Structure 1
């Protein structure tokens, strides 16, 4: 604990990292600049690893998993041991500015339960990744369109201690499901756009990173949870469609599902085929053609 007295710290900074993290020193030093009432928690597998030695020298609390973990599992372990009123989640892969981190913390102090980093594409022509597309779809189903593609899958983000108490630290192992639960539980969620694009460290431990397929499966699990709660359409209206008519016989029942029109315009009611109006010239031409064929 890094506060000047025996009081609980205002902020807990949680940093999962591999045993040989090349950026752990820089990440801890960045965290130190945020607030004097602070505790830094580093989660890594090895007892005598390079990361453990450097983190302890910088006064951080080190939690060992004793086995290979993902970054999300590391955040879950860190949250379980955190004592601050606000929890800031980082990891060795991302270099974020101090201004963004301070803003994330300040929003939790204003009362926001979940504060995400907003998604900002590197360029106007760049396409979102599959993970970002899944996050955007999940936010739409959750009714959080304003979040766009922001997600708990991407650090940095901050949570109030109240959010951890409502969700449980273990739910952070599956970030999309945690975000879906947060919305369902009525927790307040917002996102903060970074002023400069985030920089990613390519030397991060690849064994702690989840594969894209796993991330998409977790989004599918969260979407299934929301559909079970809100119905098959996720709470969205069905417009003027009458899907029960899909079971009706007839060739045009699909058309009738999408367009409800008065029976007098449809002739004999639903599914009736509307007769096309022909001009007198076309009728005369067709009759003359028939006479020529008879001759």
Structure 2
């Protein structure tokens, strides 16, 4: 009988190395980026700022609504929403009062309305977080009307006016028509495109803040609250932060790459790939006067003008971000070439304003050694 050889201590041992080590758990999955790859709604969770409202703040809003009930009763019925919007801002914007995160803002407004009208049947209004007047400019292309859900949600808000710019209408009948609910619709038989529609709508708008959005895409009313809240606090151009929806850099289309490059070239890396070329966004009246309504039809040049004029431009974290995926839809060839041309035109204008290197300094080459050239 042969003696059994002693078992090697290495027998059954897993080979040492990186592959045998367990992966450390982190906030993102291996090989993933930002909020991608974490299931449906990941982008919404990443940007919602879902802090819960305290019971004390909800109770305070309810008490404020009850105290304003008598003031509202004295106002004419057709001005109730406008009057209530002013009363709401006087309470919500009081010094030292805690502001609700965008994801919970509608909940706080609901508590206030239940205080005003009682719990039985309060109106579905969404009062705005600013006392400035807001004009919504809705652009629609292709001869189709604005999405019914979008219009329904915009009517919920205490807006100063809603302007619809609709092109491609075969027989418009009239150039401008005002509907009974205060919506002004501008009809144009030719296909103008969204960018030209912004200029036409801005020329008609009279509000302190202009909210631009695409009429073909539905969105909830509170989706626009981060933009309007920022504009109400002094931001001149409030962009919707679409960063969580972007794929890896090598998978992005050329327009997204150009948008980010242009922001970097102007020293605004914080804006990432966010641009006025993407809807929705909000402009202050000051920004409109500095940029000029005509330049809105070339969004990259409008953004260049704003940054050169030291206007306050900010990218706002959005809620319900999955609703805005239309902004990152695959672009057709014609639209792609138009966007690329707009950005190249803007960069050419910026190069003419600088020394040909944007804001970057050449610290390596010693051209003086070459001689006079």
Give the structure-1-normalised TM-score.
0.71
Deviations 1:33-85 (A, max 9, x none): 232x42100001337569x9998365410112332101010011000000010
Pair 1:212 & 2:339 matched: no
Corresponding residue SS for 1:211: helix
Taking the aligned partners of 2:334 and 2:213, their CA distance within structure 1 comes to 16
Give the 3 Å change call, closer, same or farther, for CA 245–121 of structure 1 in structure 2. farther
Q: Given that residues 219 and 323 in structure 2 are in contact (C-alpha distance below 8 angstroms), is that contact kept between their aligned partners in structure 1?
A: yes
Shift of residue 237, structure 1, vs aligned partner:
1.4
Taking the aligned partners of 1:26 and 1:152, their CA distance within structure 2 comes to 24
The correspondence for 1:197, drawn from 319, 322, 339, is 322
Aligned to 2:136: 13
Q: Given that residues 141 and 166 in structure 2 are in contact (C-alpha distance below 8 angstroms), is that contact kept between their aligned partners in structure 1?
A: yes
Give the structure-2-normalised TM-score.
0.57
Taking the aligned partners of 1:247 and 1:137, their CA distance within structure 2 comes to 33
Deviations 1:199-251 (A, max 9, x none): 4569x9x99x9611111111011111111112211021112321344679xxx
The correspondence for 1:145, drawn from 248, 269, 277, is 269
Aligned to 1:223: 347
Choose 1 or 2 for highest CA Rg. Answer: 1
Give the 3 Å change call, closer, same or farther, for CA 24–59 of structure 1 in structure 2. farther
Shift of residue 18, structure 1, vs aligned partner:
2.9
Aligned to 2:162: 40
Aligned to 1:29: 152
Give the 3 Å change call, closer, same or farther, for CA 123–177 of structure 1 in structure 2. closer
Mean Cα displacement is larger for which, 168-177 or 125-134?
Answer: 125-134
Aligned to 2:97: none
Corresponding residue SS for 1:239: coil
Aligned to 2:201: 78
The unaligned stretches of length 5 or more in structure 2 are 1-77, 84-130
Taking the aligned partners of 1:110 and 1:9, their CA distance within structure 2 comes to 10
Taking the aligned partners of 2:263 and 2:192, their CA distance within structure 1 comes to 27
Q: Which 4+ stretches in 1 moved above 6 angstroms?
A: 52-55
The unaligned stretches of length 5 or more in structure 1 are 249-295
Q: Given that residues 96 and 156 in structure 1 are in contact (C-alpha distance below 8 angstroms), is that contact kept between their aligned partners in structure 2?
A: no
Taking the aligned partners of 1:210 and 1:32, their CA distance within structure 2 comes to 34
The correspondence for 1:118, drawn from 232, 241, 253, is 241
Pair 1:154 & 2:278 matched: yes
Q: Given that residues 147 and 218 in structure 2 are in contact (C-alpha distance below 8 angstroms), is that contact kept between their aligned partners in structure 1?
A: no
Corresponding residue SS for 2:214: coil
Corresponding residue SS for 1:197: helix
Give the 3 Å change call, closer, same or farther, for CA 64–246 of structure 1 in structure 2. farther
Pair 1:61 & 2:188 matched: no
Taking the aligned partners of 1:115 and 1:47, their CA distance within structure 2 comes to 35
Over the residues paired in the alignment, what is the CA RMSD in angstroms?
A: 3.5
Q: Given that residues 9 and 38 in structure 1 are in contact (C-alpha distance below 8 angstroms), is that contact kept between their aligned partners in structure 2?
A: no
The correspondence for 1:108, drawn from 221, 231, 249, is 231
Shift of residue 143, structure 1, vs aligned partner:
1.6
Taking the aligned partners of 1:9 and 1:190, their CA distance within structure 2 comes to 19
Taking the aligned partners of 1:124 and 1:19, their CA distance within structure 2 comes to 29
After the TM superposition, which residues 263-282 of structure 1 pair with which residues of structure 2 at under 5 Å, given as runs? none
